[in-house]
């Protein structure tokens, strides 16, 4: 029987009714008591790491999850993390960069209705998550409403109904039908995971609105190392409002700019229109192509946690998603894992140096 570690972090799944609205109250043991048949699927140990509404989740909590998995990696065959749905996509993306190439499953799940409610998606989601964690599904994924979604591709696209998550610009990894995992895509993995524990959290996101000028971008760039701008369509910035000079000046001061799109599907292609062409050709801003904004946030935090060297940061930003490089075909982050293996020794050496210098650490 596979041994699985259940890591509780809160969310609706563990919530109860309070005078001030739903709040995470249940322990992981209490969650498990709702699934008496789970002993037929796997042996479960429980850790109560956090008990938060995921609106309160912060990057240091991602690192806490990574540490918990790292410390317990040898003792378990897989990991289930219960988590609020609101920021689960950010956590899943962050864990994908911080735990690379894991041959063991790291499965996030949660629910739209608390486990104690008569009508709830909690029990099926949690049971499915255990089934996946006890299977040979490598890497980080979200299991929700019978869908298995790659950790870097998930986005919360519905606030109320059970189909809360979609896989963006990439197919589901698989589905669960009557308790059986049917896999569409097999992810590559390494013989052992590579753990990172540094993030640069000074990454900001700006959603463009018509008529906006550079002032909000200036404000954010003054306080952060990187700015992601969600612009319109395939991408570009207004020709009025001083954006071009704004980006040029801040980039000269070592800041990183990524353009992405507000459109939910199919990604950016900034060079296509006049409003984007010179940003790409002359300023060489980065663009997200088919990555989700959640993944770009996490990826930038991960990259800038290791290096601020522009050439190296650009290489890392594009290296792993060849779909992003050609902007045509979303080959996705399965290739990311392969690339991560190529750079493993290099990354490990740099991480050790950062750790030794006490930089970017939340310890
Ligand atoms: N607000 C809750 C949370 O993210 C929503 C949920 O879990 O579905 O923690």
Find residue 210's DSSP bridge partners.
none
Task: Indicate whether 360 pLDDT > 70.
Answer: no
Give the angle 333-323-234 at the CA atoms, nearest 5°.
120
Ranking 11-15, 124-128, 328-332 by mean pLDDT, the lowest is 328-332
Residues catalogued as catalytic: 12
260 lines ligand 1 (CB under 6 A): no
121 lines ligand 1 (CB under 6 A): no
The answer to whether 141 and 108 are in contact (CB under 8 A) is: yes
In this prediction, residue 283 carries a pLDDT of: 93
Mean pLDDT, range 151-157, rounded to an integer: 95
Task: Indicate whether 146 pLDDT > 50.
Answer: yes
Ligand 1 geometric centre to CA of 124 (Å): 17
128 lines ligand 1 (CB under 6 A): no
Task: Indicate whether 336 pLDDT > 70.
Answer: no
At 251, the pLDDT band (50, 70, 90 cuts) reads very high
In angstroms, the CA 350 to CA 326 distance is: 29
Residue in the structure block whose two tokens are 């799940």? 109
Q: What CA dihedral angle connects 82, 84, 88 and 92, to 10 degrees?
A: -20
Ligand 1 geometric centre to CA of 259 (Å): 28
In angstroms, the CA 89 to CA 165 distance is: 8
Ranking 16-25, 290-299, 327-336 by mean pLDDT, the lowest is 327-336
Higher pLDDT residue, 336 or 282? 282
In this prediction, residue 322 carries a pLDDT of: 32
In this prediction, residue 352 carries a pLDDT of: 64
Q: What is the pTM of this model?
A: 0.89
In this prediction, residue 335 carries a pLDDT of: 35
Task: Indicate whether 347 pLDDT > 50.
Answer: no
Task: Indicate whether 325 pLDDT > 70.
Answer: no
Measured between alpha carbons, how far is residue 202 from residues 6, 146, 228 in Å?
31, 35, 11
**b/e sequence 214-233, b meaning 16+ C-beta within 10 Å:** bebbeebbeebbbbbbbbbb
114 lines ligand 1 (CB under 6 A): no
The answer to whether 53 and 23 are in contact (CB under 8 A) is: yes
Mean pLDDT, range 277-296, rounded to an integer: 92
Nearest CA to ligand 1 atom 1: 53
pLDDT tens track for 94-122: 999 999 889 999 999 999 999 999 999 99
Task: Indicate whether 349 pLDDT > 80.
Answer: no
């Amino acid at each position: 029987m596979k041994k699985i570690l259940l890591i509780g972090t809160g969310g609706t799944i563990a919530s109860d009714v309070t005078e001030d609205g739903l709040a995470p109250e249940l322990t992981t043991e209490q969650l498990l008591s709702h699934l008496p048949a789970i002993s037929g699927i796997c042996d479960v140990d429980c850790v109560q790491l956090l008990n938060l509404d995921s609106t309160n989740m912060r990057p240091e909590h991602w690192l806490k999850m990574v540490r918990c998995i790292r410390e317990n990696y040898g003792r378990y065959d897989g990991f289930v993390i219960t988590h609020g749905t609101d920021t689960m996509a950010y956590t899943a993306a962050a864990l994908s960069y911080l735990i690379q190439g894991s041959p063991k499953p790291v499965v996030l799940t949660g629910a739209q209705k608390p486990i104690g409610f008569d009508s709830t998606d909690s029990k099926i989601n949690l049971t499915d998550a255990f089934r996946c964690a006890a299977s040979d599904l490598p890497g980080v994924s979200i299991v929700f409403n019978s869908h298995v979604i790659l950790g870097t591709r998930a986005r919360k696209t519905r606030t109320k109904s059970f189909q809360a998550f979609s896989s963006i610009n990439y197919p589901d990894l698989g589905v669960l039908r009557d308790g059986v995992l049917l896999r569409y895509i097999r992810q590559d993995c390494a013989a052992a995971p590579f753990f990172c524990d540094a993030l640069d959290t000074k990454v900001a996101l700006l959603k463009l609105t018509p008529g906006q000028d550079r002032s909000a971008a200036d404000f954010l760039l003054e306080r952060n190392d990187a700015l992601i701008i969600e612009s319109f369509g395939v991408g570009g910035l207004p020709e009025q409002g001083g954006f071009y000079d704004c980006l040029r000046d801040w980039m000269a001061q070592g800041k990183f700019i990524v353009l992405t799109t507000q459109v939910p599907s199919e990604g950016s292609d900034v060079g296509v229109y006049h409003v984007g062409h010179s940003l790409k050709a002359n300023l060489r801003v980065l663009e997200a192509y088919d990555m989700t904004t959640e993944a770009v946030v996490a990826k930038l935090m991960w990259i800038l946690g290791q290096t601020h060297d522009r050439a190296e940061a650009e290489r890392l930003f594009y290296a792993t998603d060849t779909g992003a490089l050609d902007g045509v075909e979303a080959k996705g982050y399965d290739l990311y894992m392969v690339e991560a293996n190529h750079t493993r020794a290099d990354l490990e050496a740099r991480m050790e140096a950062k750790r030794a210098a006490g930089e970017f650490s939340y310890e």
